Amino acid sequence: MKSTLFSIIFSFLFLPVFSQGIAFENGNFQQLLATARQQNKLLMIEVYLNGCPHCAALAPVLQEKKVGDFYNPAFVSSKIEANSAISKELQQQKGITYPEFPLLFFFDANGQLIHQAAPAERHTREEFINEVIKHGNEALTPAMRTTNYAARYAKGERGLEFLVNYGKYAKATKDVTRQSQIGNDFAKQLSKPSDMENETGFYIISRLINDFQNPMAKHFFANMPKYQKYNTAENPKAVKDAAEAIIYNTLYGPRTNSLKSSEVVAMREAMVKLGNPAKVVAPRTLLKELEAHFREKNTAAATDRFNEYRKIATMDFLDYSYIVRLFNEKAPDNSYATSLIGWVNDGAKLFKTDNTNHTKDKLADLYNDQSKAYLKLSRKPEAKKAAQEALTIAKTAKIDTKPYTDQLAKCN
């Protein structure tokens, strides 16, 4: 009798532990993939962020019996914190990033990402459970997987929910060109101010718009006070973060090599309006401004911009070294040369022998670039003196002297 009673108690206490919720396993990506392959299952990895309230809301749902009963037979599952070493390894190996949290990534037996989902919180627990199971069903259905989104998009599918999911997938897989295309689709559908300013509109602007010239972005920057309501105690910088993300993605996105100087200036001014000090903003946009001026064959504007920058920025020897080389290589005419001679003199004063990054070869290059500028002004005596200085430094540093002897020869 005692044995039977003990068995009943044991079953009551321990059986539910094994039958409720998703059975998460530990290990790195390759270990988890091997387990999934061995069990002939797909691999599901949940990525969560410590302190994320949405992740905290999802956690108990993943431990619901109904969810476990669906996921455990079909998937080997694991959960990783976004800043963990395993997470960083996953991002590097699969070339992915995290557009938001929490995220579910699904992989096939070959380790290929086949589906991605971001479970949305629902009003009731049952709805939330069904939301999580829905994403698992989509991962099991090839036609519904995010890897099939490109084909659906090519066939003309443009529903708002589809575009949101496709936009998040494009962002996670770093497909910035497709992100821009989807951003234009959003702008066509959400063209009214009320559409752009409501909660859905701000969500799309803050997460899925990556171009400063997108109509939704233009409206956002022109009507910033209307969006301040989306700053919350949970995220008091939501609006500022969204604005800076759009600017950053524009500066380094698909149009980075075709940006107009006026666009870059507008983005710099927008960042200052967001409350960032001008001297903090300037380094973020300087190179893009100079490159744009060079493309527009406006060397004078590039020269003026760098001279303005020098007045507010804290310059280092390496900064001068890089900018001087950039002007000598990219400027479409020689109008900058006189200014460059002074830049070299100022930069050389900042060279410090106790700074391991201030190497002699860079100092030699700096004077060599000064020599080139003198030659462009037909000032051969000064060019020869600068080239000789560069050669002397190179010999002292015991580095290859050929670039400097070649420049010296041009000065004779």
* pLDDT of residue 11 exceeding 50: no
pLDDT, mean of residues 309-313: 95
CA torsion, points 188, 191, 196, 197, in degrees to nearest 10? Answer: -170
Radius of gyration, alpha carbons of the chain? 29
**Residue at 193 is within a domain:** no
Residue 17: pLDDT band by 50, 70, 90 thresholds? very low
pLDDT attached to residue 271: 97
**Residue at 44 is within a domain:** yes
- The pTM for the full model equals 0.85
pLDDT, mean of residues 237-248: 97
208 or 14, greater pLDDT:
208
Q: How far, in Å, CA of 250 to CA of 263, rounded?
A: 10
Beta strands in 267-328 (DSSP E): none
pLDDT attached to residue 8: 36
Query: Residues 6 or more apart from 96 whose CB is under 8 A from it?
Result: 90, 105, 113, 172, 173, 174
pLDDT attached to residue 4: 43
* Three-class SS state of 315: coil
Overall residue count recorded for the chain in this entry: 412
pLDDT attached to residue 61: 96
From 140, 167, 191, give the residue that closes a domain: 140
Q: Which of 298, 209, 214 is nearest to 260 (CA)?
A: 298
Judged by average pLDDT, the poorest of 118-122, 135-139, 370-374 is: 118-122
pLDDT attached to residue 20: 84
pLDDT in tens, 44-83: 999 999 999 999 999 999 999 999 999 999 999 999 999 9
From 120, 140, 160, give the residue that closes a domain: 140
**Residue at 75 is within a domain:** yes
Residue 116 parent element (H or E): strand 113-117
pLDDT in tens, 170-225: 999 999 999 999 999 999 999 999 999 999 999 999 999 999 999 999 999 999 99
Cis amide leading into 102 (omega within 30)? yes
Would strands 75-81 and 42-48 be described as parallel, antiparallel, or unpaired?
A: parallel
* pLDDT of residue 5 exceeding 70: no
pLDDT attached to residue 234: 85
**Residue at 5 is within a domain:** no
For the chain, the domain total comes to: 2
* pLDDT of residue 19 exceeding 60: no
Residue 164: CB atoms within 10 Å:
18
- Residue 350 identity (one-letter amino acid): L
**Residue at 187 is within a domain:** no
* Burial tier of 276 (Cβ tally within 10 Å: 0-12, 13-18, 19+): middle
Q: Which two tokens stand for residue 381?
A: 């005596």
Q: State the average pLDDT for the chain.
A: 94
**Residue at 131 is within a domain:** yes
pLDDT attached to residue 6: 39
* pLDDT of residue 18 exceeding 90: no
Q: Which domain holds residue 128?
A: 19-140
302 or 234, greater pLDDT:
302
* Burial tier of 303 (Cβ tally within 10 Å: 0-12, 13-18, 19+): buried
pLDDT attached to residue 220: 98
* Burial tier of 83 (Cβ tally within 10 Å: 0-12, 13-18, 19+): exposed
From 94, 123, 140, give the residue that closes a domain: 140
**Residue at 42 is within a domain:** yes
**CATH number of the domain within which 341 lies:** 1.25.40.10
Helix, strand, coil tally for the chain in percent (to 5): 65, 5, 30
Q: How far, in Å, CA of 306 to CA of 222, rounded?
A: 28
Residue 103 parent element (H or E): strand 103-107
Q: Which of 318, 309, 311 is nearest to 362 (CA)?
A: 318
pLDDT in tens, 317-355: 999 999 999 999 999 999 999 999 999 999 999 999 999
pLDDT in tens, 32-43: 999 999 999 999
**CATH number of the domain within which 37 lies:** 3.40.30.10
Q: Which of 369, 383, 377 is nearest to 329 (CA)?
A: 369
Q: Output DSSP code: residue 333.
A: S
